[in-house]
Chain A
Amino acid sequence: MGLFILRRLGVMILTALCLTFIVFWLTNLYPNLEKLAKTQGNFRMSDEAVTSYLTNRGYTQALPVKYGQWLGVLPGYEIEGSDGEVRRRCEDGKTFCGILQGDWGFSTVFKDDVSKIVGTRLGLTGKLMFWVMVVMVPGALIIGVLAGMREGSGTDRSLSTVSIVSTATPEYVSGVILIAAFATKAFIDWESIPFKGTATSAADNVTFENFFLPTITIALYGMGYIARMTRASMTEVMTAQYIRTARLKGVSFPKIVLRHALRNALIAPFTVIMLQFPWLLNGVVIVETLFNYKGFGWTLVQAAGNNDIELLLGVSIVSVFVVLVTQLISDIGYVFLNPRIRIS
């Protein structure tokens, strides 16, 4: 078991290295750098000026070298520029300064340390994710179990249709519809509008009024998917021989569902819930943009939209790690939930 986790961890680190390298490479392509130089310097820079600007700041070094420095495994550059000024990557005389040392760089858009921005934004998004999970997971499991309990029954058909509708509604559609319905007087002539169409104020103070719509928007899309997985797994379990055994032992139907079927049926959805994280991340980006909630996803859009290379790298590495860690948890959790694998 220990060996298994170790191996998974190894693969994970390798994946993370590959992914960050790809992101690093894509963000450090010349056109991006040129744009950076022009936004930081001035827009009418000549080509030579751009080159010298970049050379002076170490951007024209070989890609692996830059990556190594950014990661913190190669010593930071120290370049005497064409203008005679000596620029160092690292401040206060350190040799190594990269991700590993906690030096995440400086955001050109927010004029602040990347690590600080990422930290606070991640906290805000964590708040959103927490509520999403609270709504989504129990909801999805209940729908899935109820639908899968009696395959082909009316309940199954109605609930399955509901979950299909919810998977077919991406966040930018459901968000727009929900805002229209509950945050304006367009459809329903509210006495007072029950929810807010923006969640900007939720950054300081979460209330039902400002946080319900973004939460439900993300939860809806994931909910249908998890519910369908749960339903599939539940129907499979309910047709299994051992359920018939239990039935013919004289176990009553609610007990069959709760004691015999549930645990077996929840193994598959558990993995799915964990693997939902990369998708949830998408939802977070869309919803934070739509509701103007200044969390992690919103930061990603700002960084990417404004060519803020250091911030974009920071955001990427965090999101890649979130995804990989959840995958790891899902693998390990699956093994723990499933006695068949745990013991063999």
Chain B
Amino acid sequence: MENENYDGPILEIDKLSISFFTRLREIPAVMDFSAKIMPGEALGVVGESGCGKSTVALGVMQDLGVNGRIVGGSIKFKGEEMNTMTPERLRDIRGSQIAMIYQEPMASLNPAMRIGKQLAEVPMIHEGISEEEAMARALEVVTDVKLPDPQRMLKSFPHQLSGGQQQRIVIAMALMSKPSLLILDEPTTALDVTVEAAVVELVKDLGKKYGTSMLFISHNLGLVLETCDRICVMYSGEAVERGSIEDVFDEMQHPYTQALFRSIPLPGADKNARPLIAIPGNFPLPHERPDGCNFGPRCDYFEAGRCDSQVIPMEKVSGNDRHESRCLRFKEIDWDAPPEVGETKEKAPPGQVVLKMDNLKKYYEVAANALFGGGDKKVVKANETLSFEARESETLAIVGESGCGKSTFAKVLMGLETATEGEILLDNKSIGNTAIEERDTKTVADVQMVFQNPFDTLNPSMTVGRQIMRALEIFKVGNNDAERRQRMLELLDLVKLPRAFADRMPRQLSGGQKQRVGIARAFAGDARIVVADEPVSALDVSVQAAVTDLLMEIQREHKTTLLFISHDLSIVRYLSDRVMVMYLGHVVELGSTDQVFAPPYHPYTEALLSAVPIADTSVKKKHIVLEGDIPSAMNPPTGCPFQTRCRWKEKVPGGLCEKDVPVTRALADGHQIKCHLTDEQLAEMEPVIEIAAE
């Protein structure tokens, strides 16, 4: 029944429209979407959250839930129309011909079923083979996805594996029946950067090995560049531009694509020559889309009466292969014109030392077995001898992956926890052992924090204005409610929110706006030190730039010391003066931004730099893939914390790395590193990122 010799497109989507139906209205999620995937080709679909990219994937799978409906267009898989398939035929195709990989590996695996059984199920259903045969196949595929000890893996339950391993199992499951199309929906978003790099590498290799076509859905342009042949950019339910990777990245023909690229920090350019340009305005809600071009209201090239008066079709860009753009004016726009750069404000030079960490240690005691209690107590060393200083109006970035101890450090600094050892000096006054309740108002107001998750940072049942005013009350700003209200409105001005927002509830605000309120609240008591814990990582790319700029601007005006916690090296490089790299509670490298981002690196910094996907075709990156996962902080390796994954370990004689924790040593003025490698070996290191000459 299957046409083995089929050589047309694997997947052909034509003018697909998908809507969700609620009680009140029909919400179009995808409109007029077309795409074609040839055998062996990988198509990347990028866009911000809510643009409909995942809906496309589910539409292809014909799995839109109760409220979702395909309202127009066709989806052809190997020439066969999927919209009219019987459920039985659909079930045949799912899993055997088309497989899907999702964002949350832990959630995609059945927690009560052994992995082997879950894998073997696929060929047993589709090919009707015996259980032994299926298990043998499972073993083979698990070996293929480079998991250690495949036999044992098959017998484990999902929760016994780490996140990276789980995602490999999900990939293995997708490949069990050698599908011709693999749909990946943000497959690495939940993973750490170094783990992500390894998984992406694996997907690329296996795609080649099995000859599978891929539909890769991501919000990360860099990842798409690394994995795909072609790209489709989506905005608010529509594809706005599609073409080959090179065409779209280098000769973009749609204002949104251009704006998107201008709003993400690229390693090639520094903040003065190529500042980030945020896309103005907000992503339109599905039921509030404008007439005509959806991007119109936020577009620099908008022409009233033309862009907002007609349905805009996809149009071919002449000269390029299958390159199309949904813009009326793309032929008129001068795509090479440099962006208009606003006046660049010079930042005040760093002033005197405000904050000093001296050998700060934070250990936790936890019961070895959380559920059953009792037993041995284990000590988790969340922070190990942290020493550094931060100056006035300086930005110090703290970089590291999960479990590196950056959040614990923030907690100790804020006074939510007290230090186990060592000191935190604020203006030469020790606060490390003073819990927040015992700090005076001034100290509390001086050290404030901006939180990561915008949906969690504001109390959902209090108006925005009330929340800021409460902070003012606590910091004893203003003598009465009227004065505080005035100050609150000024704070809203400071973070560039309309004053009318004071009476809104948080749920009426978008993610970026909530984050702005969070910033306003942090500055309510004129904070001098602000800890920003991944303040933009949960925001969409276009909003990230705006919030980052806002933070920097306020910093310039208030001479704030900003401690910027992040795992995103691109943004760190863009905005920070100095960088501190942490791994499993240790500071492995500390120096000015230029020092850290250029060799000699700490081996971990090197790997981290290599792992970050970069959305720039002119950048050549050295390929370093770390083995395995980040060890648990409960059970750290002996000696150097990084030794289990370090590619330089062999160069150090005598197994020193496994025995001793290296001492911190200074390489250059203000540049320190925690590594056993000799100066000569460090000097041999090559830069990870090279920008090809243009």
**A and B touching (C-beta < 8 Å)?**
yes
CB distance B110 to A260 under 8 Å? yes
A62 interface residue per 8 A CB criterion: no
Cα(A247)–Cα(B99), bound, Å: 11
Chain A residue at minimal CB-CB distance from B110: A242
Q: Measured between C-beta atoms, what is the minimum distance from B377 to chain A in Å?
A: 14
CB distance A248 to B95 under 8 Å? yes
Q: Which of A245, A250, A259, A267 contacts B92 (CB 8 A)?
A: A250
Residues of B within 8 A of A340 (CB): 111, 157, 159
Q: Measured between C-beta atoms, what is the minimum distance from B107 to chain A in Å?
A: 4
What does the 1/0 interface line of B362-375 toward A look like (CB < 8 Å)?
Answer: 00000001111111
B93 interface residue per 8 A CB criterion: yes
CB distance A245 to B109 under 8 Å? yes
Residues of B within 8 A of A3 (CB): 372, 374-375
A-contacting residues, B51-100, CB 8 Å = 61, 63, 66, 91-96, 98-100
What does the 1/0 interface line of A231-267 toward B look like (CB < 8 Å)?
Answer: 0000000001110111111111000000110011001
CB distance B109 to A242 under 8 Å? yes
CB distance B63 to A248 under 8 Å? yes
A-contacting residues, B141-194, CB 8 Å = 157, 159-160, 170, 173
A344 interface residue per 8 A CB criterion: yes
A341 interface residue per 8 A CB criterion: yes
What does the 1/0 interface line of A308-340 toward B look like (CB < 8 Å)?
Answer: 000000000000000000000000000100111
Q: Which of B100, B159, B370, B374 contacts A7 (CB 8 A)?
A: B374
Q: Which of B107, B121, B369, B373 contacts A251 (CB 8 A)?
A: B121
A123 interface residue per 8 A CB criterion: no
B104 interface residue per 8 A CB criterion: yes
Are A260 and B113 also in contact (CB < 8 A) when A3-B374, A152-B66, A242-B107 are?
A: yes
Q: Which of A249, A267, A338 contacts B173 (CB 8 A)?
A: A249
CB distance B91 to A250 under 8 Å? yes
Cα(A4)–Cα(B374), bound, Å: 8
CB distance A241 to B102 under 8 Å? yes
B122 interface residue per 8 A CB criterion: yes
Residues of B within 8 A of A260 (CB): 110, 113
Cα(A1)–Cα(B371), bound, Å: 10
Cα(A248)–Cα(B100), bound, Å: 7
What does the 1/0 interface line of A95-121 toward B look like (CB < 8 Å)?
Answer: 000000000000000000000000000
CB distance A250 to B95 under 8 Å? yes
Cα(A341)–Cα(B157), bound, Å: 11
Residues of A within 8 A of B96 (CB): 250
B510 interface residue per 8 A CB criterion: no
A-contacting residues, B346-370, CB 8 Å = 369-370
CB distance B95 to A249 under 8 Å? yes
Residues of B within 8 A of A248 (CB): 61, 63, 94-95, 98-100
CB distance B63 to A244 under 8 Å? yes
B108 interface residue per 8 A CB criterion: yes
B647 interface residue per 8 A CB criterion: no
What does the 1/0 interface line of B10-46 toward A look like (CB < 8 Å)?
Answer: 0000000000000000000000000000000000000
Chain A residue at minimal CB-CB distance from B62: A248
B112 interface residue per 8 A CB criterion: yes
CB distance B159 to A344 under 8 Å? yes
A173 interface residue per 8 A CB criterion: no
B316 interface residue per 8 A CB criterion: no
Residues of A within 8 A of B104 (CB): 241
Residues of A within 8 A of B173 (CB): 245, 249
Are A240 and B107 also in contact (CB < 8 A) when A3-B372, A3-B375, A339-B159 are?
A: yes
B125 interface residue per 8 A CB criterion: yes
Cα(A259)–Cα(B118), bound, Å: 10
Q: Measured between C-beta atoms, what is the minimum distance from B651 to chain A in Å?
A: 37
CB distance B110 to A249 under 8 Å? no
A14 interface residue per 8 A CB criterion: no
A343 interface residue per 8 A CB criterion: yes
Residues of A within 8 A of B369 (CB): 344
Cα(A8)–Cα(B157), bound, Å: 26
Residues of A within 8 A of B649 (CB): none
Size range of the interface on B?
Answer: 35 or more
Q: Measured between C-beta atoms, what is the minimum distance from B255 to chain A in Å?
A: 36
Are A264 and B107 also in contact (CB < 8 A) when A3-B372, A4-B372 are?
A: no
- The count of residues in chain A whose C-beta lies closer than 8 Å to any C-beta of chain B is 29
Q: Measured between C-beta atoms, what is the minimum distance from B35 to chain A in Å?
A: 19
Cα(A244)–Cα(B102), bound, Å: 10
Q: Which of B61, B66, B159 contacts A343 (CB 8 A)?
A: B159
CB distance A341 to B91 under 8 Å? no
B289 interface residue per 8 A CB criterion: no
B126 interface residue per 8 A CB criterion: yes
CB distance A339 to B373 under 8 Å? no
Chain A residue at minimal CB-CB distance from B114: A339
CB distance B108 to A247 under 8 Å? no
Residues of B within 8 A of A344 (CB): 159, 369-371
Q: Measured between C-beta atoms, what is the minimum distance from A239 to chain B in Å?
A: 9
Chain B residue at minimal CB-CB distance from A250: B95
Cα(A7)–Cα(B157), bound, Å: 27
B-contacting residues, A271-323, CB 8 Å = none
What does the 1/0 interface line of B225-253 toward A look like (CB < 8 Å)?
Answer: 00000000000000000000000000000
Cα(A248)–Cα(B95), bound, Å: 6
Cα(A259)–Cα(B120), bound, Å: 13
Residues of A within 8 A of B373 (CB): 4, 7
Chain B residue at minimal CB-CB distance from A240: B107
Residues of B within 8 A of A240 (CB): 107
CB distance B91 to A241 under 8 Å? no
Cα(A343)–Cα(B159), bound, Å: 9
Chain A residue at minimal CB-CB distance from B98: A248
Chain A residue at minimal CB-CB distance from B119: A249
Cα(A3)–Cα(B370), bound, Å: 13
Residues of A within 8 A of B371 (CB): 4, 335, 341, 344
Cα(A250)–Cα(B63), bound, Å: 12
Chain B residue at minimal CB-CB distance from A263: B112
Residues of B within 8 A of A242 (CB): 107-111
Are A251 and B125 also in contact (CB < 8 A) when A339-B159, A344-B159 are?
A: yes
CB distance B372 to A343 under 8 Å? no
CB distance B108 to A241 under 8 Å? yes
Cα(A338)–Cα(B104), bound, Å: 20
CB distance A245 to B108 under 8 Å? yes
Chain B residue at minimal CB-CB distance from A153: B66
Q: Measured between C-beta atoms, what is the minimum distance from B138 to chain A in Å?
A: 13
Cα(A241)–Cα(B373), bound, Å: 31
Q: Measured between C-beta atoms, what is the minimum distance from B17 to chain A in Å?
A: 22
Q: Measured between C-beta atoms, what is the minimum distance from A6 to chain B in Å?
A: 9
Q: Measured between C-beta atoms, what is the minimum distance from B173 to chain A in Å?
A: 7
Q: Measured between C-beta atoms, what is the minimum distance from A250 to chain B in Å?
A: 4
- 6 pairs of residues in contact across A and B, judged by CB atoms under 8 Å: A249-B125, A250-B95, A259-B113, A264-B112, A343-B159, A344-B370
Nearest 8 pairs between A and B by C-beta? A241-B107, A250-B95, A4-B372, A249-B95, A250-B94, A242-B110, A245-B108, A263-B112
B residues adjacent to A (C-beta < 8 A): 61, 63, 66, 91-96, 98-100, 102, 104, 107-113, 121-122, 125-126, 157, 159-160, 170, 173, 369-375
* Inter-chain pairs besides A4-B371, A244-B108, 4 sampled, C-beta below 8 Å: A7-B373, A245-B173, A249-B95, A341-B371
